[in-house]
Amino acid sequence: MKELFVLLKQGNKSAFLAAIVNTVIAIIKGVAYGFTGNVAMFAETLHSLGDAANQFFVFIGSALSKKAPTPRFPNGFGRLVNLVLLGAVLIVGIMSFETVKEGFHHIIHPTKSTGLLINLSVLLLSVILESFVLFKAAKEIAHETGINEKGVMLLIKSIGSLKRAKPATKLVFMEDTVATLGGILAIVSILLSHFTPFHQAEGIASVIIGLMMFIVVGRVFLDNAAGVLGESDEEMKQKIGDMIINDPDVKDIQDISVIKEGETLHVEVEIEVDPLITVAKADVIKDRLEEAIRQEKGVADVIVEFDEDDGIKQWTEKNETKENS
């Protein structure tokens, strides 16, 4: 039990905060839907409920993925967060289906809802809270990817750096982006339905919110399926390779792989060195390179192997091929 609490302290903080906020929002929206029967509010209730459950599982998964390797699982638990996220998207997928189904039902059989002030107050509060969590997730992405921006530019840069963010942070950012946009869309649809005869607006908003949730489900599923299989980080591979080749004792790089293990990176590199160096010299080179590679953000495990220099510059050829392609 003590180990579990230690691991939970290392869980993704953005996911934990988002889970708490979305639980509160889901309860408030559910109460509002019970009073008003508004279909857009129903969609938003399911959306927030799905997000809360999803992000709670993500927090648990991100924490357990940091468990130290055991004799039974010597490679560690890094990919556990990917497995948890694959399971979590099923929850959002079910909520998405129910949201779209209810929306189509309201489009075919439109009804005028009541409780305008209640609906608008609840949705406005939820948009404010979701925006707060969204900016927190954007700051987390900035911390993970080295962005130094503030305000609107922070959000813009975070979207561009989303691919390099940790799986849990990425999920929170995407879900709260959809949640914020969904809240705004629900507000617009309620106003249209109340002040015009276009009562189908709430059903259309519900369908759009459900489809946006499906987009998140698809993106998260594909990203984490790749993570479970073992996805290569090509950008970090290039960065580490360029750093290694500049070492004065490294003649060439025979092979290098940088594999994502959940929220961390596993690096294996085979370098070519002068065949006349001593074992002691090779050990110094190995320690120096391992220390330098571990300084890169996210790197948790490094293996350096040696081969004798064959006089063929493979790493340079790879770079030139990449630049010319």
CATH code reported for the domain at 234-324: 3.30.70.1350
Convert the pLDDT of each residue in 276-324 to its tens digit.
899 999 999 999 999 999 998 888 889 999 999 888 888 864 554 444 4
DSSP sequence for 236-303 = HHHHHHHHHHTSTT--EEEEEEEEEETTEEEEEEEEEE-TT--HHHHHHHHHHHHHHHHTSTTEEEEE
Whole-number Å distance between alpha carbons of 48 and 208: 15
pTM of the shown model: 0.71
- Report percent pLDDT > 90 for the chain: 22
As a whole number of angstroms, the distance between CA 238 and CA 29 comes to 47
pLDDT tens by residue, 58-108: 888 888 887 878 888 877 777 787 888 787 778 778 888 888 988 898 899
Cβ neighbours, 10 Å, residue 199:
19
User: pLDDT for 208-251, tens place per residue?
Assistant: 988 988 888 888 888 878 777 778 888 889 999 999 999 999 99
Give one DSSP letter per residue of 205-242, joined into a string.
HHHHHHHHHHHHHHHHHHHHHHHHH--B-HHHHHHHHH
DSSP 306: E
Residue intervals of the chain classified under CATH 1.20.1510.10 are: 2-229
- List the CATH code of the domain at 2-229: 1.20.1510.10
> CATH 3.30.70.1350 spans which residues of the chain?
234-324
More confident residue, 223 or 31: 31
The C-alpha atoms of residue 127 and residue 135 are separated, in whole angstroms, by 12
Contact 202/40 with Cβ under 8 angstroms?
yes
Q: What is the mean pLDDT of residues 47-64?
A: 83
Token pair of 71, please? 């004799």
- Average pLDDT of span 13-25: 86
